Amino acid sequence: MSELERLTERLTAALPPDAVLTDPVRLRTYECDGLTHHRATPGVVVLPETAEQVAAVVRLCGEHGVPFVARGSGTGLSGGALPRTDGVLIVTSRMRRILEIDIPNRRAVVEPGVTNLAITEAVRDRGYYYAPDPSSQQVCSIGGNVAENSGGAHCLKYGFTVNHVLSAEIVTPDGEIVELSAQDPGYDLLGAFIGSEGTLGIATKITVRLSRAPEVVTTLLAAFTGIEAGGRAVSAIIAAGVVPAAIEMMDALAIEAAEAAVHCRYPAGAGAVLVVELDGPHAEVEHQFAAVERICRDNGAFEIRVAASAEERAAIWKGRKSAFAAVGRISPAYIVQDGVVPRTALPRVLAGIDLLQEEYGIRVANVFHAGDGNLHPLVLFDDSVPGEAERAEAVSGRILDLCVEHGGSITGEHGVGVDKARYMPRMFTEDDLDTMQLVRCAFDPRGLANPGKVFPTPRLCGEVPGVRRGAHPLVEAGLAEQF
């Protein structure tokens, strides 16, 4: 009997009857997250309903030395929830109760499986909402948002998950239940935990901040002949001291795809469109709107549309929000990339991407959160053409190099996961990564929580820094992969 089989017997004894899945067909439905080209059938799947059950599973994993991976809705785009064939996948989808809504204190307490949008829907009538809005918000879970420190189109003004979570009950990799609170004195372990991609434990209860719905929201669509003019408008808006709730840009290829998919009817002939959303007190938005409209015209916008109603706003956003899926209409396959550059480097980086397209003969559609320099290049390829997938992969990697060269980041919101662990050394030195590893060792000295994610070759806890010789023990033990 293997270690996993022995563990499975104990999991079955410890959990409710239908909470342990071992049927290969059912296991296979969990073989990947939103990053579908990484697949691994989990050794066993558990569906706990309480924090105590999560803690019991984690403790048993520890006793058997078996790695575990947490998964929310499985919408992540970096393979952060990629299971391990020799491990346990802990799925939080049965923990989806909203436990408390506390309007006077602007907060809600939820279980990790609650979807992002469900929080907003629960408080919208009372004039509140949950601010982080990843584009998967209808299905993605708050637990996953905490793991990834998710952003969204509106994080330019309102920040990320970490700015909107007040406390979290977590199960540590030791199987202890601990409350991490922003209110407590001491180290900001909550801040370190959020965005740690499941490597420091599993959130089992999350208290989020609710935000007051703004008095006025104004959305504007501006069409430019090219992406350079759109980029100049973005810079001028920021220079004018305006902080919009969102500034999104799409290039001609992305517009073409969106048009084909959802008929968003963006202005004909546009080489780039800019979606600018302003929100806040009426008097302030009115003032800022006038400035933004003038700046767009001064920078060559040939058509400006203003949403006069919620329906018109939805129509403007429709094209942007559909863009990722829409490129499926114009290309058999594509890679969604996620990189960040300082806003002022956008023109240079976009020019660099143009050169890469020529060099590799690969098309790239550009969709990005222009306000914060977060690029989502969609690298298009035909997987039936030999070698094209590899060329697309190369372009995708070189785009990240461009981001790092210009002082940016290899990921703005999708996370490192399994997909980008090998790129971490391009952004961080060995000392930087070893220092992050100290946090990992404090929480998870045995490296059982989501191993193989985020860090390329984690140093063993207790291992003395220096030149590594021979095979890494974690690699030998099958707990890590060396890039």
Partner 1 sequence: MAARDVGDALEAAGVAVRAAGDGDEVAGVRPRWVALPESAEEIAAVMRVCAAHDLAAVATGGGTKLHWGAPPDRCDVLVDLCCMNRPPEHAAGDLVVRAQAGVTVEALARALAEGGQELALDVPVPGTTVGGLLATGIAGPRRFRHGTARDLLIGVTVVLADGTIAKSGGKVVKNVAGYDLGKLFTGSYGTLGIIADATFRLHPLPAARAWVTATVERPVTETYGTWTNEDGLTFETLTTDLAGSLATMVPAVTESPLEPSAVEMDWPDAEGPCTVAVLVEGAAAAERAKALCALIGGALSDAQVTEEPPPWWGRLPEPPAPDGPPGPLGAGTGAGDGDGGEILLEVRNVPSRLAGSFVGPLTAAREAGVHAAVRGSLASHVFHVALPPDTEPRRVAAFTGGLRAHMETDGDGRVVVLAAPQEAARRLDRWGHVGALPLMRRVKERFDPDRRLSPGRFLGGI
What residues numbered 412-431 form the site for partner 1, per CB under 8 A? Answer: 412-416, 420, 424, 427-429, 431
Query: By C-alpha distance, which of 318, 233, 344, 221 is closest to 277?
Result: 221
Nearer to partner 1, 166 or 475 (CB): 166
Nearer to partner 1, 83 or 280 (CB): 280
Residue 186 DSSP symbol? S
Q: Which of 215, 298, 382, 476 binds partner 1 (CB under 8 A)?
A: 215
Cβ atoms 175, 145 nearer than 8 A: no
The tokens of 364 are what? 């790239």
From the CB of 114, what's the least distance to partner 1, in Å? 21
336 φ/ψ angles, rounded to the nearest 5 degrees? -90, 115
Nearer to partner 1, 43 or 143 (CB): 143
Residue 9 DSSP symbol? H
454 lies in the binding site for partner 1 (CB under 8 A) = yes
Residue type for position 372:
D
Site string for partner 1, 26-65 (x = CB under 8 A): ----------------------------------------
Within 160-199, the residues that bind partner 1 by CB under 8 A are 160, 162-163, 172, 178-181, 183-189, 191-192, 194-196
| Euclidean distance between CA atoms 407 and 440, whole angstroms | 26
Cβ atoms 64, 175 nearer than 8 A: no
Nearer to partner 1, 26 or 282 (CB): 282
| Euclidean distance between CA atoms 22 and 105, whole angstroms | 43
Burial of 255 (0-12, 13-18, 19+ CB in 10 A): buried
214 lies in the binding site for partner 1 (CB under 8 A) = yes
Q: At what angle do helices 310-321 and 252-262 cross, to 10 degrees?
A: 120
From the CB of 253, what's the least distance to partner 1, in Å? 23
From the CB of 208, what's the least distance to partner 1, in Å? 14
| Euclidean distance between CA atoms 295 and 368, whole angstroms | 20
| Euclidean distance between CA atoms 289 and 405, whole angstroms | 35
Q: Which of 90, 114, 341, 350 binds partner 1 (CB under 8 A)?
A: 341
Stretch that binds partner 1, among 108-116, 144-152, 266-274, 351-359 (CB under 8 A): 144-152
The tokens of 202 are what? 């599993």
From the CB of 466, what's the least distance to partner 1, in Å? 12
Q: Which of 98, 101, 262, 441 binds partner 1 (CB under 8 A)?
A: 441
CB atoms within 10 A of CB 269: 11
Q: Which of 99, 283, 308, 385 binds partner 1 (CB under 8 A)?
A: 283
Nearer to partner 1, 96 or 414 (CB): 414
From the CB of 34, what's the least distance to partner 1, in Å? 15
Residue 278's beta-bridge partner residues?
218
Residue with tokens 């393979």: 79
Residue 56 DSSP symbol? H
Q: At what angle do helices 3-14 and 51-64 cross, to 10 degrees?
A: 160
Within 355-394, the residues that bind partner 1 by CB under 8 A are 369, 372-374
Residue 277's beta-bridge partner residues?
219, 246
| Euclidean distance between CA atoms 332 and 447, whole angstroms | 39
Q: Which of 271, 342, 347, 397 binds partner 1 (CB under 8 A)?
A: 342
Q: Which of 2, 105, 138, 482 binds partner 1 (CB under 8 A)?
A: 105
Q: Which of 21, 340, 378, 474 binds partner 1 (CB under 8 A)?
A: 340
Q: What's the chain's length in residues?
A: 483
CB atoms within 10 A of CB 209: 17
From the CB of 105, what's the least distance to partner 1, in Å? 4
Binding residues for partner 1, total number by CB under 8 A: 87
Stretch that binds partner 1, among 24-32, 212-220, 257-265, 309-317 (CB under 8 A): 212-220
From the CB of 383, what's the least distance to partner 1, in Å? 28
| Euclidean distance between CA atoms 435 and 189, whole angstroms | 15
From the CB of 212, what's the least distance to partner 1, in Å? 6
From the CB of 224, what's the least distance to partner 1, in Å? 19
| Euclidean distance between CA atoms 389 and 386, whole angstroms | 7
Supply angle C-alpha 448, 442, 181, rounded to 5. 105
Within 231-250, the residues that bind partner 1 by CB under 8 A are 235, 238-239, 241-243
Nearer to partner 1, 17 or 185 (CB): 185
Within 80-99, the residues that bind partner 1 by CB under 8 A are none
Nearer to partner 1, 159 or 332 (CB): 159
Within 308-337, the residues that bind partner 1 by CB under 8 A are none
| 198 backbone φψ class: left, alpha, beta (φ>0; ψ -120 to 50) | left
| Euclidean distance between CA atoms 66 and 84, whole angstroms | 10
Nearer to partner 1, 84 or 440 (CB): 440
Q: Which of 86, 228, 434, 481 binds partner 1 (CB under 8 A)?
A: 434
Q: Which of 27, 410, 479, 480 binds partner 1 (CB under 8 A)?
A: 410
